[in-house]
């Protein structure tokens, strides 16, 4: 146990399966890669329902959605808590690929 809270990332199951085969997860958010965005968007348990509704509220894809629980102590790259605007709500951002070994749980999103 690291003492650090897990951070969460919602994604399509096929993207997670591709990452497992490759060894790293590199999708920042729906439709954007780590290379395009510069970091991987994550959230806390409390933030996840709003993030899921914003990103996937209209999702009608062939793939089920899954939530990746990431142990920040295992990512090996900076994790910064940042807001989109000064004084706004802060979200965890992972500044590099997430090793699949840092993903400690995968669960379906209802």
Contact 96, 76 (CB under 8 A): yes
Q: pLDDT tens digits, residue range 7-62?
A: 999 999 999 999 999 999 999 998 899 999 999 999 999 999 999 998 888 787 77
Label residues 17-42 b or e (16+ Cβ within 10 Å = b).
eebeeeeebebbbbeeebeeeebbbb
28 within some domain: yes
1 within some domain: no
Cβ partners under 8 Å of residue 14, min gap 6: 63
2 within some domain: no
The Cβ of residue 14 has, within 10 Å, a number of other Cβ atoms equal to 13
49 within some domain: yes
77 within some domain: yes
Quote the CA–CA distance of 63 and 22 in Å, as a whole number. Answer: 19
71 within some domain: yes
Average pLDDT over residues 61-82: 92
Domain count across the chain: 1
Q: Check residue 58 and give its pLDDT.
A: 79
pLDDT of 84 higher than 90: no
Quote the CA–CA distance of 100 and 110 in Å, as a whole number. Answer: 22
In CATH, what number is assigned to the domain containing residue 67? 3.20.170.20
91 within some domain: yes
Contact 8, 55 (CB under 8 A): no
**What residues make up the domain containing 36?**
7-108
38 within some domain: yes
């Amino acid at each position: 146990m690291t003492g650090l809270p897990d951070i969460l990332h919602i994604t399509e199951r096929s993207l997670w399966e591709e990452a497992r085969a490759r060894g790293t997860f590199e999708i920042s958010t729906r439709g954007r890669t780590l290379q395009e965005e510069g970091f991987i968007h994550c959230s806390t348990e409390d933030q996840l329902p709003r993030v899921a509704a914003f990103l996937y509220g209209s999702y009608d894809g062939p793939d089920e959605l899954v939530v990746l629980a990431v142990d920040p102590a295992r990512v090996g790259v900076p994790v910064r808590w940042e807001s989109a605007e000064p004084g706004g709500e802060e979200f965890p951002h992972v500044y590099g690929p997430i090793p699949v070994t840092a993903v400690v749980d995968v669960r379906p999103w209802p």
